[in-house]
Structures are given as C-alpha cells and as structure tokens.
Amino acid sequence: MIEVEGLAKRFGPVEAVREVSFSAADGRITGLLGPNGAGKSTTLRMLYTVLRPDAGSARIDGTDVVADPLAARRSIGVLPHSAGIYRQLTARENIRFYGELHGLAPALLRRRIDELVGRLDMTEFADRRADGFSQGQRIKVALARALVHSPRNVLLDEPTNGLDVMATRALRELIRGLRAEGHCVLFSSHVMQEVAALCDDVVIIDHGRVAASGSPEALQARFGGSSLEETFVRVLGEQEGLA
C-alpha cells in the first residue's frame, strides 16, 4: 500500500514535481502515465528514498519514507530506470548480493534465488557472468534482485524499455502474477498500450502534477475518447489549455 500526499521536488530552478498525490492499493497494478519529463521518475525516486521530497509526504505500508527510510526500503522492491547489474558477477551472484544486503539468512536466500530463477525463466543463464547479457536478460536479473526479499510493494520505472515483444509479454505475466499474490505494483510508463494492457488504476502526471486518475474505464468515461490514448491526449490537452 503506497500513499502519496502533496509530494514536491525541485532541482535548482526546475520544479520537477509540484504536487503529486495518489494511492496505490495492494493487489492492484497502478500505472504512472505521463510524457517524458513529467515527473514520473522523480516521484518514484522519492518513494524509493534516493531523493528527499521538498514538501509533502509518502507512506509505504504506513511507514513514512522520510522519517524511516530504512524501514520503507525493506518493504519495497525497486527496478530503477537505470538498473545496472554487475557484469563480472553471475546472475545468481548479482541476486545474492542484494539478498545479503537485505540480511536474508543463507539457506533462505538460496531457496529464494532458486525460486526466482525458475519463475523468471533464468535457468539457462543464471550461472553465467552478466557481461554480454541481452537487455532482456539484464532486466530479469535486476527484477529478480528487486524481488529477492519478497517485498510487499514493487516499484518499476519504465520496466519494458528496450525489451522485445516476447520479453515484454513475459514481464507483463510476471506483473500480473505479483498482483495475484496480493502485491502492490506501481510502475511508470509513457507507453499507452502498456498501461492499458496492465493497469487497474492509472495516474496521469503532467508538468509535475496529477492531471487525472482513476481506472482506465472511468477516465475514458470522464474525458471521452474511444481509446485510452485518446483520453490521455485529451487530459493533457486540457491541462495545456489551463496552463
């Protein structure tokens, strides 16, 4: 469960996030949708505590991310926009390192890694060094290490970037699987089809503000438009008009 209230962040003269409020429920997939530079990544970065908000607050399962960042980090799994993995380590070693930092006991960690390797279909390359992995393989490793501690909440920043059709499909399946297990999944994207195909709730962000939010159907009903894409364009257009 992620609750965000009045989040704001500026970098020098640039107001990256002005006022973002939304909540993402357990057992649902929430999508942050918005054009490039709208403030999606900055919002996520504040949620996973690498940036401190200038104003507003965010709680993850009731834990304030500013007051107790360590506790907040324990209950989230993160796939950042640039999810680099260590090329000299094998896939398994990459995942193990994160498990160790989460303080998992060796036996539990081994079991957990085996489980993730099976689930993400990584058996073929799990013991190979990450040097030379394809983009899809790298994303899988990064995703597996984000999930190694079985976090309740999963934050994904443009996870399908650079993935081919098959890898994208596999990732969607995985995200749906997480939902079925009752996880709270929050992911950002600027790709409409992606959000339409996956999300239970959509938060449209533009110029650092929430332009609209709700289920895809509700948004479509409210703003009209035959597709979510058209709805998206209408929402943004309305905002532009207001500005």
Judged by the rule CB under 8 A, the positions of this chain that interact with another protein are 45, 48-52, 70-71, 73-74, 76, 78-89, 93, 97-98, 100-103, 129, 142, 145-146
Query: Which is closer to another protein, CB of 105 or CB of 218?
Result: 105
Query: Which is closer to another protein, CB of 10 or CB of 176?
Result: 10
Query: Which is closer to another protein, CB of 89 or CB of 191?
Result: 89
As a whole number of angstroms, the distance between CA 226 and CA 120 comes to 35
Find the shortest distance in angstroms from Cβ 242 to another protein: 31
Query: Which is closer to another protein, CB of 88 or CB of 226?
Result: 88
Find the shortest distance in angstroms from Cβ 140 to another protein: 14
Find the shortest distance in angstroms from Cβ 160 to another protein: 17
Query: Which is closer to another protein, CB of 59 or CB of 145?
Result: 145
Find the shortest distance in angstroms from Cβ 231 to another protein: 32
Query: Which is closer to another protein, CB of 24 or CB of 79?
Result: 79
Find the shortest distance in angstroms from Cβ 136 to another protein: 16
Half-sphere exposure of 8 (CA within 13 A, CB side): 10
Q: In what order do the strands lie in the sheet with 14-24?
A: 63-64, 55-60, 2-11, 14-24, 209-214, 201-206, 29-33, 184-189, 153-157, 76-79
Give the strand pairing for 29-33 and 184-189.
parallel
Find the shortest distance in angstroms from Cβ 218 to another protein: 32
Query: Which is closer to another protein, CB of 81 or CB of 176?
Result: 81
Find the shortest distance in angstroms from Cβ 35 to another protein: 22
